[in-house]
Structure 1
Amino acid sequence: MVSLAALVQLACLLRAASVLAQESTASPTLTLSTAIPSATAPTSSELPSQVSVPPKQAWCPSEIFCPGELLQTVNIAHLFPDDKTFADKPTSKSSQEVLAAFRNITNDTTYGQIIDFVEQNFGGEGRELEALTVPDFDPNPSFLQNVTNPLVQAWSKIVHGYWTQLIRGTNSSNLCGSDSECESSLIPLNHTFVVPGGRFREQYYWDSFWIVEGLLESQLYSVVNSTLQNFMDELDTIGFIPNGGRIYYLDRSQPPLFIQMLDRYVKVTGDRSILDRALPLAEKELTWWHDNRSLNVTSPFTNQTHLVYHYSVNNSAPRPESYLTDYMTANDPDAPTLNDTQKADLYAELASGAETGWDYTMRWFKDGANDGSLRNLGIRDLVAVDLNSILYRNHIALADLYGSSNDQADTHRSAAADLHTAVLDLMWDNDKLAFYDFNLATNKRKNFFSTANFYPVWSGIIPDALLQDSKAAFGHFASVNLVLSRYNGTFPTTFVNSGQQWDGPNTWAPHQYIILQALRALPANVSSGNPPSTEDGQSSWDLIPSGQLGMEENQLPPQPSNTGNITNTGPNADINVGNGTVVNGGNATSGEGWSVMLQRELANRYITSAFCSWVATGGSIEGMVPRLSPELLNITQSVNNTGNMFEKFSAFDVDSAGRGGEYTVQAGFGWTNGLVMWIASNYGNMLNAPECPLITLEDAQTSSASLNASPVMWTVAIAMAITALL
């Protein structure tokens, strides 16, 4: 019997599925959305009382879209499920008229008054953007020839076509400016760009790295060039590349991958003419990170002092795109009261979390803080493994772009060498064979394992232990072997299920790419041998170095099963192992080596996750993959969908998207599509047709009796349970 608590949880999943049904990727044109404000209380009711407005932020000058009385009042009314909706609505009148209308609202403000105010003074979110066609779009790019499986090839071609749905430009006819009769939060861009999708209507910084990887495989070189030109425009005018293309992102950046996008573009196209403009601006970006995000740390291990980097945003107000969420975190009536200084520190931590790209994860929590509250963030005290690895790789890439006989190239090689030393000294644990963030508050490494572990090797920071010993090299990647043997999906960001979207069981495209590239970076002398074998009674857990994951085996989340008989300990936990390979892992080949084995399996598993969730939400391929019946698509609320490409997936269930976090899971989706292109191009001869555990009505009946059912099946179960109750 399904418990009431389970019904509540599953009802939330059903609602999320319903929202996803509205996020279809089928239409090739941009439909301007206009979310209609709706009250969460009777329209005649007064708004809840609110705390004092936070200090005005120097980086955000707008009285409408930046922290202030207007933004706070509208968010207190909670007219939209997503705070970002209002922040993206341009005004339909001049700023002065809008502010005057707001001041005319009585002191006893009601929900109805705020609804009327928004309806009368604001337009549809996203109207300043327009869908664009790409004249050089080729429906049959050459990378498709690398894909030997007909089904995977046909699907990859469909995903390649999704670029035409995500390409945008600034709509000058609807653009607000200083002399305009409207105001907008948009940062206008001069060139074409690709949006991630869903609520992410603008160009985003680190998303664009994986979008660019896909665009290069799709031979859309002009769009890549335009993307880089937009970033260079921002470096030229703003001084750094913000998180995304809205003014409310001007307090922060994101993982700094512009130089690596530039390097990839030049290497693939041979177009070095872009460097005349790009190289000085690349220097400008590195200077910004040095001046605003660097610090000196003296190692407790070697007593050496290193220049390293951390995420640290100067901000003392809620993020405008997540205003109510941040406001409630700081003013939670069920939590201890914070003073103004404590609130300012919390708001800075929340913004710093957004700058990391990983917003949020237990990785960022202060040591010993396990209650799940975002009040426990301690991001600014962490020297992040991934950030310092990225900056190391930036220096190497920039040196290569300058050429060998160049003084500036030598400067960057020297800076890279210093970061190489720092990362190995502060963050490498030779006993656990893993990298961990360095905690400034405790002056030691943080014992929390995440996919950040793989960034140094991807970047070229490979410890001697991994270069000299195949067993040690495998030990560094043993958790990948565990996931592929024990779970149905791809590699989770962490092994902690906190409810935050950058924790398990959620898996993300960027991290699968990082792991694959890290495996490719290993030299053949340590990666070409057979994987270590387990003795009778052992499992994939026994191959992981002691203490590496920071938990015991029985603390690992078990793979959910309809039968309910799967354990998360012992050899029986490796449910996917058989005949020398894993489920949805491709076909093993003789003598391929353990690194290639893991790459083959992970590449296949990623394609499976993206493909199967696409089919479960209405995707079909004529003559190959039939569309699910209306009855089944109704279960996933996808009757009008033609397949969703999700921003994140589940390590447990290749039929579903990920979950958790501040907003409904988004469909689109730029970096997901980009990694499909990259994997199809680089692993096309290893990819098999995915085996999807497709939804059936019989499965629905079975799943209703088990709380271990997969998330998609949970949705099925709750639909049936509610119907029965009614």
Structure 2
Amino acid sequence: MPDPTPYELYGELFVAVQMGRVCGDGKSFVDARPRSAPAAIRERFEAERHQPGFSLADFVHAHFVLPEHSAPAGPRLGIREHIRALWPLLVRQPGPAREGDSLLPLPRPFLVPGGRFRELYYWDSYFTMHGLLADGRRDIAEDLLANLSHLLRTYGFIPNATRSYMLSRSQPPLFFRMVELMHASDPAGGFALHLDELRAEHAFWMDGEAAVAPGQAHRRVLRTGSGALLNRYWDDRCTPREESWREDVLTAEAARTAASRAPAEVWRDLRAGAESGWDFSGRWCADPADMATIETTALAPVDLNALIAGLEEAIAQGAARRGDTAAAQAFEARAATRRQALQTLFWRADAGHFADLDWRNPGDPRPLTAAGLVPLYLGLATPAQAQAMAGQVQRHLLGANGLLSTTLATGQQWDAPNGWAPLQWMAAQGLARYGHAALARDIAERWCASVHRVYLETGRLLEKYDVTCDRPGGGGEYETQDGFGWTNGVYVAFKESLLQAP
């Protein structure tokens, strides 16, 4: 990976800053811009660190420009007018690469989620696009798609976000859905236009597939003992996440003390959890209440495999439009095989819901989560399975203010009582696709009403909400952020589709 990360640039200075919480939020330092060459800063740190009266905080402020952490502000407006006013405030202009700056250069203006998230994020962009299009900001949506296409052409994949320290992982592969959204009148034509990028993303996820034996895995690809070819989340590094260095070091120490786990193993699983976008959830843990038992790489996630089936179908359609019959047939067969795996291996007949698969121990009963609705979203479930999932939602996942992420109460932000915009959207769209329109509308109405009430109370649009009562979501490694790209997008899209309100 050619772009050096902050840890690679600053070494012991980096570790001292992050472990000492000099900047409070660990993401602040990795997003800081150096005032001079990184090598010179590092050399000066080594020369000064042992001198009497040395202050690490003063050194950091003298040698780095720390990012501002402010929410978009403006006069209190109606919620729809507020969202329309927010779009341009969340746009950032592209600039050249700067030595020591972790921000990756992009060719077009880009939209950030808000708060501490000051860069382009992969899966956020898809849900944000829905609102941009509904609000007549196709220009921003086109810039987003162009930037993501650029990342695929440049790196062979779309990173988690446009930071050097996130170049070892991706996020849920929704690029094909973005292409479909931007080419709604002719999706196959869009897939044909972007076929090279779609195939590059598929190759990234499937790297090493030819050499993987049953019961083995390589990077993001695995084979079950029965020979089924599936995918998992992964990260090409096995060190602490640089933006959460201190938290990951402490988690690994707890795992080593309690279970003698190697730190590198824990860090890999934490990083893989970050690739999932669900960072973090008891979904990824052997003991949902204990992050030290995280085992993300031991799981074939139901949502990831559904998305890759959708990607394979998109490639088949794009190849057919280009006249490449052999490729179209090959990817159609891949999609069909994965659809069959989803309907069998990922379906818990005993509990009546889709779930992740422990690919080494397929009998391990994984819990119900909102991820189990992604097969419905992509049309990959049987009608009976969709009916059962609708019942699961009504009995276990539907809160007063929308869809719970999981039924687990762990203190992690992707667990109860939190609900997130992307999960509301995929669940409601999936249920509506299978004829459960009333339930889909109920989810949308409950969530949108709560977003509106919290906005009237606080003047803020938030990344996550407590769906059991009217308040911001909580838990996790940082304070709830506002801005907020995908909440804005899904709120507007619900109002323009399922709820049909102006």
Instruction: Please tell me whether the aligned partners of residues 65 and 248 of structure 1 are also in contact (alpha carbons under 8 angstroms).
Output: no
- From 477, 483, 487, the equivalent of 1:668 is 483
Matched residues in 2 for 1:521 and 1:67: separation? 51
Residues 644-665 of structure 1: CA distance to partner in whole angstroms, max 9, x if unpaired? Answer: 10000012112x1100000000
Contact in 2 for aligned 1:331/1:338 (Cα 8 Å):
no
TM-score, normalised by the number of residues in structure 2: 0.89
**1:304-703 to 2 correspondence within 5 Å?**
305-332=227-254, 336=257, 342-366=262-286, 369-370=287-288, 372-403=289-320, 406-407=324-325, 408-463=327-382, 465-466=384-385, 473-482=386-395, 487-522=399-434, 527=435, 595-617=436-458, 643-654=459-470, 656-685=471-500
Structure 1 residues 267 and 494 mapped into 2: Cα distance closer, same or farther (>3 Å)?
same
CA contact (8 A) 1:186 1:245 kept: yes
**Alpha-carbon RMSD:** 2.7
- Residue in structure 2 matched with residue 95 of structure 1 by the alignment: 38
- In the TM superposition, residue 113 of structure 1 has moved relative to its aligned partner by 1.9
Higher helix share: 2
8 A contact 1:195–1:201 mirrored in 2: yes
In 1: Cα distance, 2:192 partner to 2:452 partner:
38
Tell me which amino acid in the other structure corresponds to 1:481: Q
Match of 1:283 among 199, 208, 218: 199
Contact 2:357–2:366 under 8 Å retained in 1: no
CA displacement, residues 74-99 of structure 1 (integer Å, 9 cap, x when unaligned): 11221122100111001011122211
**Whole-Å separation in 2 of the counterparts to 1:681 and 1:418:** 35
What SS does the aligned partner of 1:336 have?
helix
CA distance in 1, matches of 2:352, 2:396: 17
- 2:34–2:65 contact (8 Å) kept in structure 1: yes
Distance 2:282 2:258 in 1: 23
The one-character-per-residue Cα deviations of 1:340-394 (angstroms, maximum 9, x if unpaired) are x70111110110010010011111012xx25x33210011010110000011111
Report if aligned partners of 2:128, 2:486 keep a CA contact under 8 Å in 1: yes
Sequence identity, in percent? 30
Report the residue type matching 1:518 in the other structure.
Answer: G
SS in 2 for 1:295: strand
SS in 1 for 2:55: helix
* CA-CA distance at 1:606 after TM superposition: 1.4
Q: CA deviation at 1:270?
A: 8.1
Tell me: CA distance 1:455–1:416, structure 2 relative to 1, closer, same or farther (3 Å). same
Q: CA deviation at 1:108?
A: 7.5
* Counterparts of 2:14 and 2:238, CA distance in 1: 15
The AA in structure 2 aligned to 1:374 is: M
- Tell me, in whole angstroms, the C-alpha distance in 2 between the residues paired with 1:109 and 1:373: 42
- Counterpart of 2:409, as a letter, is N
Please say if residues 455 and 514 of structure 1, whose CA atoms lie closer than 8 Å, have aligned partners that are also in contact: yes
Q: 1:52-91 residue pairs with structure 2 within 5 A? A: 61-62=4-5, 64=7, 68-91=11-34
| Secondary structure of residue in 1 paired with 2:184 | helix
For the 8 Å contact 1:294–1:310, the answer to whether it is kept is yes
The offset of 1:240, in angstroms, is: 1.1
Residue type of the alignment partner of 1:288: F
Evaluate the alpha carbon distance shift between residue 373 and residue 491 of structure 1 in structure 2; reply closer, same or farther with a 3 A threshold: same
Q: Secondary structure at the match of 1:298?
A: coil
Partner of 1:121: 63
Q: CA deviation at 1:686?
A: 6.8
Aligned partners of 2:466 and 2:365: how far apart in 1? 26
C-alpha separation between the residues in 1 aligned to 2:221 and 2:439?
A: 36
Q: 1:68 to 1:347 in 2, by over 3 A?
A: farther
Q: Secondary structure at the match of 1:198?
A: coil
**Residues 107-141 of structure 1, C-alpha deviations (whole Å, 9 max, x = no match):** 4787x5211210111013279xxx9xxxxxxxxxx
- Provide the C-alpha distance between the structure 2 equivalents of 1:109 and 1:294, rounded to a whole number of angstroms: 53
Q: CA deviation at 1:66?
A: 5.9
Q: Is the 8 A contact 1:169 1:192 kept in 2?
A: yes
CA distance in 2, matches of 1:271, 1:374: 42
In 2, Cα distance between the equivalents of 1:402 and 1:274? Answer: 8
Unpaired stretches in structure 2, ≥5 consecutive residues: 208-218
CA displacement at 1:230 relative to structure 2: 1.1
CA gap of 1:227–1:87, structure 2 versus 1, over 3 A, is same
Please state whether the residue corresponding to 1:331 is helix, strand or coil.
Answer: helix
Instruction: Work out whether residues 484 and 602 of structure 1, in 8 Å CA contact, stay in contact via their aligned partners in 2.
Output: no
Q: 1:294 aligns with which of 221, 245, 249?
A: 221
Q: Check the 8 A contact 1:426/1:445 in 2, yes or no.
A: no
Aligned-residue offset at 1:298: 3.2
Equivalent residues of 2:110, 2:144 under 8 A apart: yes
Residues 397, 407 of structure 2: 8 Å contact kept: no
In structure 2, the partner of 1:721 is none
Q: 1:213 to 1:685 in 2, by over 3 A?
A: closer
- Helix, strand or coil for the counterpart of 1:683? coil
Flag the 1:293–1:396 CA change in 2: closer, same or farther, 3 A.
same
Counterpart-to-counterpart distance in 2, 1:479 and 1:457: 13
Note the alpha carbon deviations across 1:149-190, whole angstroms, 9 max, x for none: xxxx95324323321211112245xx514xxxxx21111111
Q: 1:316 to 1:516 in 2, by over 3 A?
A: same
Give the whole-Å Cα distance in 1 for the aligned partners of 2:309 and 2:138. 26
In the TM superposition, what is the alpha-carbon distance from 1:447 to its structure 2 partner? 2.9
Task: Please state how far the C-alpha of 1:232 moved relative to its aligned partner.
Answer: 1.7
- CA deviations 1:267-302 (Å, max 9, x no partner) are 2588958954x2112111100100041122134xxx
Tell me the secondary structure at the aligned position of residue 318 of structure 1.
Answer: coil
Q: Which runs of 5+ in 1 are unaligned?
A: 1-57, 132-152, 178-182, 300-304, 467-472, 528-594, 618-642, 688-726
Structure 2 vs 1, CA of residues 353 and 60 (structure 1 numbering), >3 Å: closer, same or farther? farther
CA contact (8 A) 1:647 1:665 kept: yes
CA contact (8 A) 1:101 1:117 kept: no
Rate the CA distance shift 1:109–1:297 in 2: closer, same or farther, 3 A.
farther
Name the CA distance, whole Å, in 2 between partners of 1:84 and 1:680.
34
Q: 1:253 aligns with which of 144, 167, 170?
A: 170
Residue 484 of structure 1 deviates from its aligned partner by 8.3
Cα distance, 1:519 vs structure 2 = 1.1
Equivalent AA in structure 2 for residue 168 of structure 1: R
Q: 1:274 to 1:170 in 2, by over 3 A?
A: farther
Q: Is the 8 A contact 2:494 2:500 kept in 1?
A: no
Asked whether the equivalents of residues 311 and 352 of structure 1 are also in contact (C-alpha less than 8 Å), the reply is yes
1:445 CA drift (Å): 4.5
TM-score, normalised relative to structure 1 = 0.63
The change in CA–CA distance for 1:483 and 1:384 in structure 2 (over 3 A counts) is: closer
Over 3 Å counting, the alpha-carbon distance change for 1:176 and 1:484 in structure 2 is: closer
Cα deviation for residue 442 of structure 1 reads: 2.0
Contact 2:441 2:499 in 1 (8 A): no
Separation (CA, whole Å) in 1 of partners of 2:101 and 2:341: 43
- The residue number in structure 2 matching 1:105 is 48
Tell me the equivalent position of 1:155. Answer: 79
The alpha-carbon distance between structure 1 residues 335 and 342, as it changes in their structure 2 partners (threshold 3 A), is: closer
Q: Secondary structure in 1 aligned to 2:498?
A: helix
**Per-residue CA distance 1:33-54 (angstroms, 9 max, x = gap):** xxxxxxxxxxxxxxxxxxxxxx
What amino acid sits opposite 1:297 in the alignment? T
Higher RCO (CA < 8 A, seq sep 6+): 1
**What is the count of residue pairs matched by the alignment?**
483
